[in-house]
Every structure is written in C-alpha cells, then in structure tokens.
C-alpha cells in the first residue's frame, strides 16, 4: 500500500507531468474556443450581431467579428501554441466582457461557461504555452541567443 502511494505521489510530482499540464489546458481551451467560434462563424454570425445590437451596444458587426475572430482564430493559435500570451490576454478581455457585461443580468448558470473560459484564459496567460508549443521552440532559441 505504501509503495503504491509513493508511486502515485512521485508520478504526480514528476517534472515531465508538471510540464505537460500547461500544454494540456492550453490545447483544451483552444479546442473549445474553435468549436464555439466556428459555430458562430459558420452559422450563427447574424444571431451574434442581432444579440449585440439588441443590447444597444455600438458597432455590432465589428464587435461580433472581434468575438468570432478571437474565439476561432485565437483557438487555432492556442492549439498550435503560437502567440499564446497575446491570444490568452485577448481571451481574458473577451470573456470578462461576456461574463460581466454581456451576461450581467442572467443568472449564474448562464454565466458559468464564460466564467470557466475566463479562468482557463487567465491560467494560460500566466502559465504560458508550456514546453510543447511553437512559442517554446521559437522564443527559447531567441532567449538563448540573447544570453550568449
């Protein structure tokens, strides 16, 4: 029993597993954003524009385009791991607006998905892309060249 517990504890604190979590969370967030952005881009764009216009926000087409672009293109960039922190920052701004301005009158169950995306975006912003990303390979070499 003790050996099993020690094995599980060593597995959970293994360096390779700790390095893998930011990558897993980044990819999951990216896939979810691609799914929801794709639905809006390829079928519900007019509904998004109408919802924004109904609230009375200015420039509904531009705001709808920005939302769909951040979700769809940003999701693709997150999955690949390219420009991770700028995309995560844009996602943090987007999901703050959705959670606290767009859905402010709705009950909590209507906000919880946007709040979850907000939390995941904040995590990705602070933790970075992880070791398994294009950012890691591009900017690791740049940082090594600056130190040399």
Sequential pLDDT tens for the chain (148 residues) = 567 777 777 766 777 777 788 999 999 999 999 999 999 999 999 999 999 999 999 999 999 999 999 999 999 999 999 999 999 999 999 999 999 999 988 999 999 999 999 999 999 999 999 888 999 888 876 555 666 5
> How far is C-alpha 96 from the chain's CA centre?
12
Are 24 and 129 within 8 A, CB to CB? no
> How far is C-alpha 59 from the chain's CA centre?
25
User: What is the pTM for the complete model shown?
Assistant: 0.85
Are 75 and 30 within 8 A, CB to CB? yes
Residue 62: both structure tokens together: 């531009």
Residue 48: both structure tokens together: 């998004």
Residues 6+ apart with CB under 8 A from 99: 111, 114, 115, 118
- What is the Cα–Cα distance from 47 to 34, expressed in whole angstroms? 18
- What is the Cα–Cα distance from 99 to 50, expressed in whole angstroms? 18
Are 129 and 81 within 8 A, CB to CB? yes
């Amino acid at each position: 029993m003790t050996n099993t517990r020690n094995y599980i504890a060593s597995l959970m604190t293994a360096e390779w597993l700790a390095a893998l979590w930011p990558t897993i969370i980044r990819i999951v967030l990216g896939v979810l954003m691609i799914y929801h952005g794709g639905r809006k881009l390829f079928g519900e764009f007019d509904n998004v524009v109408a919802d924004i216009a109904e609230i009375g926000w200015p420039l509904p087409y531009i705001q709808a385009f920005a939302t769909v672009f951040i979700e769809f293109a940003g999701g693709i960039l997150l999955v690949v791991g390219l420009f991770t922190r700028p995309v995560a920052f844009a996602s943090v701004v987007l999901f703050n607006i959705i959670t606290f301005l767009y859905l402010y009158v709705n009950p909590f169950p209507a906000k919880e998905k946007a709040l979850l995306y907000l939390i995941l975006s904040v995590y990705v912003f602070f933790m970075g892309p992880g070791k398994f990303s294009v950012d890691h390979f591009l900017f690791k070499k740049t940082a090594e060249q600056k130190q040399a």
